[in-house]
Amino acid sequence: MRRLTGIGVSPGVVAGRAVILIQRAQVLRYQIAAGRVTHELGRLERSRSRSRQQLSDIRANVARRRGPDVASLFDAQLLMLDDPMVIPRAVEIVREQRVNAEWAVQQVFNEFSAVFDEVADPYLRERRGDVADLIGRLKMNLRQGLETARDLLRELDESSVLIADELTPSLAAQVDWTKVRGFATDAGSRTYHTAILARSLEVPAVVGLHDASRSVEAGQLVVVDGSGSALIVDPSDEVLARVARHADDRRPGAGAEAERRRPATTADGVRIRLDANIEFPADLAAARYAGAEGIGLYRSEFLFTSAACDIADEQQQYEIYRAMIEGMAPGPVTIRTFDLDEEQLASQAATRGVGGPWAAKEENRGSRHGLRGLRLSLSRPDLFQVQLRALLRAARHGTLRIMFPFVSGVEQLRDARRIVGEAAADLARRGEIVPPVPIGVMIEIPAAAYTADLLAREVDFFTIGTNDLIQYCLAVDRADERVSLLYEPLHPAILRMIVMVRRAAARRRIPLSLCGEMASDPALLALLVGLGLTEFSMTPGAIPVAKQVLADAHSAELRAMGRRALRLATVDEIERELLASLARMSHARK
Ligand code: PEP
Ligand code: MG
């Protein structure tokens, strides 16, 4: 028996088999039953053959367009697919350790990385990139049909306990908490969202365990003791007997279930609109089930993740948008035009043969703040028009709003509106009359926030995208772990920008919503309502908890909390104010 001490953030005690989630690497490690080994090996083999097919297609395309020398770069990866240290090694890991295929593939990568770290030869070290690329592809193909770690989370056996490096609210919102009985995380210095989530979900939780996700094995029996602030690994019979005695104390995890159908309001009846963010048409069902009033953000660029959609095919896009609009009716659907960057577009171009400036320039690869979003669309009006025509046609079938991503100024907005006008004129020439469609922009670049008053004159609505706004405002690359602690939604600059945008929208009386991850975090949501926002779009699974938290809050108290937060100077002070206010409010209601 081993006892790890952390911070208990939600009371109660439960036992279960450990499921390990490494959120940063997007891998889930769990133990599989002996009878599932063959199934897991089948998934590995299918992933290998899909990867081989894709790499051969890409190689042939690149050879045709850029010559055999560039194409030969893919030979290394094709060869690696047959290397005994890759798939056969992963097979061995699945068999010996009885773990899922994703984790076996990740372990293969870890083993390669360890070897590359030792070699001095720069040529060989560079091969690390090829291995990383190939492993990423194998993992992507293992996910075929399972879109993210969260889908795997739905496949878990009863009575699991989730042990994660960190648990973001959006991921927590996807877990089936009737199966996962409690959770423990390594992270924990900032506990506002995890704590509130755990209490709302009514599952025991311990945070701040430092390395639990590395030191606990998948499938090991563990006890989460939220009341005693501990994670007990391989508990003794005596501890298990104590857990059994307390089993009745545990209330069902689906406490938020009854809230689903009710529209969101605060305790004093202020109406708050909750829409859903979705990436795939199939997510529509989850949005409806969660009680979303509409779709506040459909990230249309996800159409290309499966290579099933052609960027130049208007009819195909029209049918997808139409089905989505009809599926959500009478609720509105906000479709964001493609927020692709050059690299993503280049891979679409490679498989579809769309050439021209959309093919990535080598020196710009991976730059997410380069030619991206609306800027990229404006650089290819022909392809942009395809999407706009498909959208305008689909608008006839329900309530659609079109939204542009990554806008940094009024000029781009005017250019984009002009192209919308041209697309509508094209359709009119074809005899297709389209209804007027509200046009909005995402406020996700600081320049857009600072010019919100100017933009507000020329758009029909705003949506604040805090995911990008935070990273660009605070100059923190979210992909760079070394500065990830500086990625602070509660930074005074962020709160001020949000208020600035709210005022600009209010002055022109245009609707304003917020669709960044912040909205999925119940504590931050309470603060945002306190700053005067009343419309949000979030990951569908976060909606029931959001309703519950709002129903317990009084708008006047939230506003007072918002005013106090705006006067504070540091993230810590704001966070303390937020926690203290929420604790006071919840105490007063009891
Ligand atoms: C955002 O930037 O906040 C946002 C919602 O867009 P995405 O996460 O797709 O960049
Ligand atoms: Mg964004």
The tens-digit pLDDT sequence of the chain (590 residues) is 999 988 777 778 999 888 888 776 667 788 887 888 998 999 999 999 988 988 888 888 778 777 787 777 788 889 989 998 899 999 999 999 888 898 899 889 888 888 877 777 776 666 777 888 888 888 878 876 554 555 556 566 667 899 988 877 666 766 777 778 899 988 764 445 666 667 666 788 888 888 898 899 888 899 999 888 899 999 998 888 888 877 655 444 444 455 577 889 999 999 999 999 998 888 898 899 889 999 999 999 888 765 567 888 999 999 999 999 999 999 999 999 999 887 777 766 555 544 443 443 333 333 467 889 999 999 999 999 999 999 999 999 999 999 999 999 999 999 999 999 999 999 999 999 899 999 999 999 999 999 999 999 999 999 999 999 999 999 987 656 567 678 899 999 999 999 999 999 999 999 999 998 889 888 899 999 999 999 999 988 788 888 988 988 999 999 999 999 999 999 999 989 998 888 788 767 66
Ligand closest in space to the Cα of 513? 1
Of all protein residues, whose CA lies closest to atom 7 belonging to ligand 1?
Answer: 467
Of all protein residues, whose CA lies closest to atom 9 belonging to ligand 1?
Answer: 299
CA 487 to ligand 1 center in whole angstroms: 14
Q: Is the CB of 467 under 6 A from ligand 1?
A: yes
| CB contact at 8 A, 512 and 501 | yes
* Model-wide pTM > 0.75: no
CA 466 to ligand 1 center in whole angstroms: 7
**Alpha-carbon distance 221 to 218, whole Å?**
9
Ligand closest in space to the Cα of 336? 1
DSSP reduced 3-state for 237:
helix
Backbone phi and psi for residue 100, each to the nearest 5 degrees, phi listed first:
-70, 160
Q: What is the length of the chain? A: 590
Looking from the CA of residue 516, the nearest atom of ligand 1 is 3
Residue 9: both structure tokens together:
């953030």
CA 85 to ligand 2 center in whole angstroms: 38
**Strand ranges (DSSP E) for 210-337?**
221-225, 230-233, 273-278, 295-299, 333-336
CA 467 to ligand 1 center in whole angstroms: 5
Q: Is the CB of 305 under 6 A from ligand 1?
A: no
Q: What is the pLDDT of residue 359?
A: 42
**Alpha-carbon distance 354 to 350, whole Å?**
7
Q: What is the pLDDT of residue 155?
A: 62
Cα–Cα nearest to 204, from 222, 220, 181: 181
Q: Is the CB of 166 under 6 A from ligand 1?
A: no
Each as own residue / partner, the long-range contacts of residues 179-182 (CB below 8 Å, 24 or more positions apart, any chain) are: 180/16, 180/19, 180/153, 180/156, 180/253, 181/14, 181/15, 181/16, 181/224, 181/250, 181/253, 182/12, 182/14, 182/16, 182/224, 182/226
| CB contact at 8 A, 231 and 206 | yes
Q: Is the CB of 283 under 6 A from ligand 1?
A: no
Q: What is the pLDDT of residue 150?
A: 54
Of all protein residues, whose CA lies closest to atom 1 belonging to ligand 1?
Answer: 465
Catalytic site residue 473?
Answer: no
CA 468 to ligand 2 center in whole angstroms: 5
Ligand closest in space to the Cα of 489? 1
Q: Is the CB of 336 under 6 A from ligand 1?
A: no
- The DSSP code for 396 is G
Identified catalytic residue from 473, 515, 554, 587: 515
**Alpha-carbon distance 238 to 514, whole Å?**
49
| CB contact at 8 A, 320 and 310 | no
Please provide the DSSP assignment of 69-91 as one string: HHHTHHHHHHHHTT-TTTHHHHH
Of all protein residues, whose CA lies closest to atom 4 belonging to ligand 1?
Answer: 465
| Dihedral sign from CA coordinates of 175, 178, 183, 188 | positive
Catalytic site residue 193?
Answer: yes
CA 245 to ligand 1 center in whole angstroms: 46
Looking from the CA of residue 277, the nearest atom of ligand 1 is 5
Looking from the CA of residue 405, the nearest atom of ligand 1 is 6
Residue 583: both structure tokens together:
């604790």
Cα–Cα nearest to 301, from 201, 406, 198: 406
**Alpha-carbon distance 277 to 86, whole Å?**
37
Q: Is the CB of 555 under 6 A from ligand 1?
A: no
Q: Which string of b and e fits 568-577 if b means at least 16 CB within 10 Å?
A: beebeebbeb
Start-to-end CA span in the chain (Å) = 38
Q: Is the CB of 521 under 6 A from ligand 1?
A: no
Half-sphere exposure of 568 (CA within 13 A, CB side): 18
How far CA 560 is from CA of 321, 440, 556, in Å, comes to: 42, 30, 6
Ligand closest in space to the Cα of 538? 1
What's the CA dihedral at 15, 16, 18, 22 to 10 degrees? -80
**Alpha-carbon distance 586 to 579, whole Å?**
11
Q: Which residue has the tokens 């009024």?
A: 410
